[in-house]
Amino acid sequence: MTNKINRKLLFLCTGNYYRSRFSEHLFNALAQEKELNWQADSRGLAIERGINNRQVISPYADRGLRRRGLRVPINERFPCQAINEDFETAYKIIALDECEHRPLIETRFSKWINEVEYWEIHDIDRTFPTIAMEQMERRISKLIQVLEMIEY
């Protein structure tokens, strides 16, 4: 498996601060544990909306990862805005909240609207973070199981 090129999974949310970052780190930890040939990355569809996002990653995501025994790397990057190249290089693309993200993809990345898998995991204005992270964890665990079956 070490000779294979990793397939890229792209998680999208609005600000690349909380949901997509939590998903990226959790997926990568689980994929590595299962020795899957996948690597997740994450981007924001409208990071300019995150004017109150002052740290490299949301404290909710950081706490949620810690509760799962994971640590955010010391050299963690700041949120990144999605660009067309992110879509072009991804083997699979997941937007974390269809109601919120489909319109952003439609206006900013319309070419990719039908290439995206849409989940329904709402931001903190609609779902308490611990509940949303449990939802993400369940979806990611199911995704890992599917990818395991495909690879083996």
| Residue pLDDT, tens place only, 47-95 | 998 877 888 999 999 999 999 999 999 999 999 999 999 999 999 999 9
Q: Does domain 7-151 have CATH number 3.40.720.10?
A: no
| Residue pLDDT, tens place only, 14-34 | 999 999 999 999 999 999 999
119 touches 97 (CB < 8 A): yes
pTM: 0.93
What is the band of 2 on the pLDDT scale with cuts at 50, 70, 90?
A: very low
Q: What is the pLDDT of residue 151?
A: 67
DSSP string, 57-80: S-HHHHHHHHHTT----TTPPPP-
Instruction: Read off the tokens for 133.
Output: 């992270």
Report long-range pairs for 139-143 (Cβ below 8 Å, ≥24 apart): 140/23, 140/26, 140/27, 140/30, 141/30, 143/27
